[in-house]
Structure 1
Amino acid sequence: MEAQHLHGKPQAEGQWSTGFCDCFSDCSNCCITCWCPCITFGQVADIVDRGATTCGTAGALYALISFITGCGCLYSCYYRKKMRAQYNIEGDDCSDCLKHFCCELCALTQQYRELTHRGFNMSLGWAGNLERNQGVAMGAPVFQGGMNR
């Protein structure tokens, strides 16, 4: 399998594949995120953590933090930062926090769409995507060139 297939459509270096306010380009995810953001967050966290945190665990923790403090956006903001680092997407910590604080739903749906555009089937989770691709580690870093002095 070639890398292009594993990661979906190639993205411009440092760019998100969709805009921040393109929430309605995927109506089903938009509705799910609007009514139960913990589901979308759990799916994103499962992929970003590469299966170390399950969808259910991340979603439940997000819901608990949101219920107790009303600030689940702080938890999801951390995953936006982590995702940007994994895929070398432009942005900074301050803008991540502002996006999640001001429009949590748009931020979560953008992350969901980004992972979908990179070839992940979000309903399968990390383990399902690995199995689907016969154990090839998706999202593994690509090293270019050989050893340099």
Structure 2
Amino acid sequence: MYPKPDDAAALYPRQESAPATGIPMSGAGRSGGGPNAPNAYYHQQAAPTAAAFAMQAPPLAAWSTGLCDCFDDCSNCCVTCLCPCITFGQVAEIIDRGSTSCGASGALYALIMLLTGCQCVYSCFYRAKMRAQYGLQEAPCADCCIHWCCEPCALCQEYRELKKRGFDMNLGWHANMERQGRSPATMPPLMHPGMTR
């Protein structure tokens, strides 16, 4: 009644099945090239490439001041030249959003500077973190090169950038958040007593 195995092979030729991919593989959707060829559905739903993401990403913003515009804020320039750990501590507290204090960050910076002299490696991570938070360009060159070649100028530029973005660098993160929370721009509009739903 049933055909022998040899006869079954002749009557029903064995077809290679396509690997399971989670994408429907109908016969109508297949492009030419054999049973393992990708189908048209896959080509339509292909994941976007890195170039597509780069085209969709908004352009990075320029720094508000140049690297060598240190004399725009002479008091900060003097403090940074004499004791860079103070400026770094103020910048790090704002970038870390208050998770580390100005004193702790500045003390760690000073300790690294005294023990190894490679404080620029530590501070360049904060520059990269700041650029990521605010969408800033990596200019005029790589973060590590800027901090290695001109550490005081890099710290001053970061300080000025945060100041231009509305932070009072002498207050710290928490006091800045309290001040911004009480500003009229962030308060809800006042409703007149006669207005009802």
Q: Fold conserved (TM > 0.5)?
A: yes
Q: Distance in 2 between matches of 1:90 and 1:25?
A: 21
Q: Distance in 2 between matches of 1:63 and 1:46?
A: 15
Q: Distance in 2 between matches of 1:120 and 1:13?
A: 21
Q: CA deviation at 1:131?
A: 1.1
2:82 aligns with 35
What are structure 2's unaligned runs of at least 5 residues? 1-58, 184-197
User: Which amino acid letter does the alignment assign opposite residue 74 of structure 2?
Assistant: C
1:82 corresponds to 2:129? yes
2:164 aligns with 117
1:17 corresponds to 2:64? yes
Question: What stretches of structure 1 move > 4 A for 4+ residues in a row?
Answer: none
Q: Distance in 1 between matches of 2:182 and 2:155?
A: 27
1:72 aligns with 119
> Between the two proteins, what is the percent identity of the paired residues?
65
Normalising to structure 2: TM-score of the pair? Answer: 0.60
Q: CA deviation at 1:25?
A: 0.9
1:108 corresponds to 2:172? no
The residue matched to 2:109 in structure 1 has which SS? helix
Q: CA deviation at 1:134?
A: 2.1
Higher helix share: 1
User: Which amino acid letter does the alignment assign opposite residue 20 of structure 1?
Assistant: L
Higher normalized contact order (CA 8 Å, seq sep 6+, divided by chain length):
1
What are structure 1's unaligned runs of at least 5 residues? 1-11, 137-149
Q: Distance in 2 between matches of 1:35 and 1:99?
A: 19
2:93 aligns with 46
Q: CA deviation at 1:133?
A: 1.4
User: Which amino acid letter does the alignment assign opposite residue 101 of structure 2?
Assistant: T
Q: Distance in 2 between matches of 1:104 and 1:135?
A: 35
Q: Distance in 2 between matches of 1:82 and 1:64?
A: 21
The residue matched to 2:145 in structure 1 has which SS? helix
User: Which amino acid letter does the alignment assign opposite residue 113 of structure 1?
Assistant: R
The residue matched to 1:119 in structure 2 has which SS? coil
User: Which amino acid letter does the alignment assign opposite residue 63 of structure 2?
Assistant: W
Normalising to structure 1: TM-score of the pair? Answer: 0.80
Q: CA deviation at 1:14?
A: 1.5
1:139 aligns with none
